[in-house]
Amino acid sequence: MKPVDTMDTQEDPHLLEQLASIEHLLLRVSWLEQRRFARDLATLGLTVPQFLALRSVLHRGRQPTMTALADETWQRCATVTGIVDRLVKMGLVTRQRDTSDRRRVLVEPTPAARELLDKARHTRERRLRETLTHLPAEDAQELLRLLKLYLEAFGLQYEETEETPPQPESTVDNLADGTD
């Protein structure tokens, strides 16, 4: 497969049309998935920023500071403070001062947070499975292969240094072939 060259895009109208279609489809899929995800979280009583903060707290393996949460969720510290305030009121996290540095506030998930994030993961898996049932198994596998290839090319192009999000216990590979 020949990589797309920027010179080719200036000379080949077919390639320009193909690139426009890819951009449109990526934006459309992203938008639809974001909307569906936000609705699913709303049924669990969470907003997307609350979910992202909660997931970050849970996956750190140790108590993150408010600053670390802000960095990981691409929010300002003041915004994260409001999000964590609401998560505390919901009984999903606790906050405490760091005993070694009283200026630092540490956030810890409660058992209810773990349970809620499990529900969110199961909801996402169920929705994805429902969508993939409309594709033949080999097409689902091909979609997975192409998405991995795209992400790999993206990472090479932009030298992404962000950490990869933790992989769920049940992977898309299993969803595509119908196994868990």
Tens digit of each residue's pLDDT (9 = 90 or more) over 147-170: 999 999 888 888 654 555 444 444
pTM: 0.72
Print burial letters for 140-164: b (CB count within 10 Å at least 16), e (below 16): beeebeeeeeeeeeeeeeeeeeeee
- pLDDT for the residue numbered 71: 86
Query: Within the chain, which residues score under 50 in pLDDT?
Result: 161, 165-180
- pLDDT for the residue numbered 41: 95
pLDDT in tens, 104-130: 888 889 999 999 999 999 999 999 999
- pLDDT for the residue numbered 159: 66
Pull the structure tokens for residue 28: 């459309």
- pLDDT for the residue numbered 89: 96
- pLDDT for the residue numbered 172: 46
- pLDDT for the residue numbered 8: 52
Task: Identify the H or E element spanning 95.
Answer: strand 93-97
